Structure 1
Amino acid sequence: MIKPVSTPDDLNIRKVYLGKDLFRDASLSRDGTISCASCHPSDMFGVDNFTRSVGVDGKTGDINTPTTYHSRYFFAQFQDGRAKDLQEQALGPITNPVEMDNTIENVLKYVKSNNHYIVQFRNLYNDGITIENIVDAIAEFEKALVSPSRFDEYLKTGDKSVMRDVELEGFELFKSYGCIACHNGISLGGNLFQKLGIFKPYEGTSLGRFNVTGEEQDKYYYKVSTLRNIYWTHPYLHDGSIEKTYDVIEFMGEYQLGVDIPDEDIKKIEQFFHSLTGELPNVVK
């Protein structure tokens, strides 16, 4: 149910570095103060560790910033799944009034005035600078944000020596308690929507999938978060209401599994989570 990741070998490296430049360019925002990297610093595994990220004019939204790492494997983008792919996702923050608050027209005007971008887009895209090509380059950079870990080495080889005994015990508990029912696949998450509050009601800061579908049964359904690099991607839940891994494991036991997970088991699952921290890709170093 869990598959290992490897360093991607399907990338257009020149597009990756163009996308990296755009990702870090605050001039894509209305007032030149916010870039994609402001909320998703790639050297911090794609999160800023704030409960709410701050956009232009100090505005904040109602959702905790999700990681950009391993997003290439997610079945939909954003926590409510409103974007079908990384290209569609990349455009969202640029025009969102509480994030970068810009217009497509202004973005194109800026990029077309930048000599570096003019040359790069001319060399990489037949039709040069378009909004579609801008978000395509950003998406190509995001596809490079993959961080293989010791756990991946274990999955590939079966070599238990790359894991500590307590981490392996935590992995077995992770499976036996049923965490793996939602946190599975190549990203240990990111491949289904699930209701937050199955065994105990929970109302957060957003209605989740309901905001996209308008269907009553979709209230409080969110895309299951990836557990990769979880020690770096705090705070947790869609509303950023939990700061520590111990507390989020305890919460999930109570609200999602209907069990009171003993202290010793929580600590072992925490140790398993340590093995999910990967290496930063070369493109962000």
Structure 2
Amino acid sequence: MYSKTLLSLALATASLLASGLSDNAKNAGLLPIPSSETELLKLIDNPKNPITKEKIELGKKLYFDPRLSKSGFISCNSCHNLSEGGDDGISAAVGHKWASNPHHLNSPTVYNSVFFSSQFWDGRDPDLEKQAQGPIQAHPEMAATKEHVVATVTSIPAYVNEFKFAYGDDVKISFEKVTDTIAIFERTLVTPSAYDDYLNGKDDAMTPLQKAGLKTFIDKGCATCHNGVALGGEMNAFNITGTYIHQNVGDFKGNENGMVKVPTLRNITQTAPYFHNGKVWNLQEAIVEMGRIQVGEKISDKEASSIEEFLKALDGRKPVLSIPMLPASTSTTPKPDLN
């Protein structure tokens, strides 16, 4: 009887501690992906261009279609590979004519980007619809023109029919309509994780080590910048209490106010290398460096290991995707241009 009473008390204490941790996380600004599909749709939908199954499927094809690029070789998926972390796994993005990003900027993940309040490292665009227009036209990336994209899509009868199916017979296939449709697909690339399950009330979703890591994460001030549903995605000052060790690699210094977009921590174990210029490959090293330059904390190896354990709980359940079968080109489809 005595041992059962002790066990009951221990379980009750553990439950109270877990409940307190969840409350502390929410008080620190950490928010889960909603478990309710209705609530999730409220977060990811675009009232100006509501999500539908038809738009999602069409957007997925366009996302994977390299013919939207000048070379006919690069698609959105080239730099934002959905088979892994939603990025390209290299320090600086590589685009048209195998040119690396002239500012030595790393490709951020597209997974959960719908939760970002700012797009691009300098935060110049507010949403995915606007963001999708940039890489297609950027010469170091896909190097296409608006005219090339429209000519490509309208030269393929299957695409014309799919646009009508998604938007109605009177749809005008413009560059903006194409990128808006890609953005609709990207809005669905959400990866709920054990962390979300925990904050949504499932106490055993995270391991004891992950819970301890969450506490360390909050105590060390990491949630000051990495908060909200995305655990990032907003603009913040950089090099607050120190100077990033690789600051001189590339010429990026942030926006006009020196602000830099905070990268999401979701699926962070799958998105190395880290920082805007992709110069840190080890996650614990990145944690220690962030503590030094952002919150003025000397994070020990033990604390970094603890935080890393928590970050593993952010590895999400990715949408089940099949590679789309793209419609055939026609005699009027623009030919690949490698120049």
- Flag whether TM exceeds 0.5 (same fold): yes
Identity over aligned pairs, percent: 37
Structure 2 Cα separation of the partners of residues 161 and 94 of structure 1: 44
Report what 1:243 is aligned to.
281
Distance 2:126 2:253 in 1: 16
Q: Give the equivalent residue in structure 2 for 1:93.
A: 135
Q: Secondary structure at the match of 2:200?
A: helix
Q: Does 1:207 align with 2:256?
A: no
1:87 counterpart letter in structure 2? E
CA distance in structure 1 between the aligned counterparts of 2:220 and 2:268, rounded to whole angstroms: 19
Of the three residues 298, 311, 316, the one matched with 1:278 is 316
SS in 2 for 1:42: coil
Aligned length: 276
Larger Rg: 2
Distance 2:94 2:61 in 1: 21
Give 1:131's match in structure 2, choosing from 158, 175, 183: 175
What corresponds to 1:155 in structure 2?
199
- Contact 1:43–1:280 under 8 Å retained in 2: no
Which residue number in structure 1 is paired with residue 332 of structure 2? none
1:96-245 alignment runs, 5 A limit: 96-125=138-167, 126-157=170-201, 159-191=202-234, 193-202=235-244, 203-204=247-248, 205-210=250-255, 215=256, 218-219=257-258, 221-245=259-283
TM-score, normalised with respect to structure 1? 0.93
> Matches of 1:123 and 1:151 in 2, distance apart?
38
Asked whether the equivalents of residues 96 and 141 of structure 2 are also in contact (C-alpha less than 8 Å), the reply is yes
After superposition, what is the alpha-carbon deviation per residue over 1:178-217, rounded to whole angstroms, capped at 9, x for unaligned?
00000000001112x222211112334243433xxxx4xx
What stretches of structure 2 of length at least 5 have no aligned partner? 1-28, 46-50, 324-339
- Please give the per-residue CA displacement for 1:113-147, whole angstroms capped at 9, x wherever unaligned: 01221111112224231112101110001001000
Letter in 2 for 1:173: T
Secondary structure, counterpart of 2:236 in structure 1: strand
User: Is 1:51 matched up with 2:96?
Assistant: no
Q: Secondary structure at the match of 1:222?
A: strand
Q: In structure 1, which of residues 56, 63, 68 is the aligned counterpart of residue 105 of structure 2?
A: 63
> Is 1:34 the counterpart of 2:74 in the alignment?
yes
When residues 135 and 208 of structure 1 are mapped into structure 2, their CA distance, relative to the original with a 3 A threshold, is farther
Unaligned runs of at least 5 residues, structure 1 = none
What amino acid sits opposite 2:97 in the alignment?
A: D
List per-residue Cα deviations over 1:194-244 (Å, max 9, x = no partner). Answer: 22211112334243433xxxx4xx23x211111000001111000001111
2: CA distance between counterparts of 1:280 and 1:164? 20
Matched with 2:5 is none
Residue aligning to 2:32: 4
- Say if 1:42 and 1:284, in contact at 8 Å, map to a contact too: no
Select between 32-41 and 254-263 the one with higher mean Cα deviation.
Answer: 254-263
How far the C-alpha of 1:30 sits from its partner, in A, is: 0.4
Q: Which moved more, 1:7-16 or 1:172-181?
A: 7-16
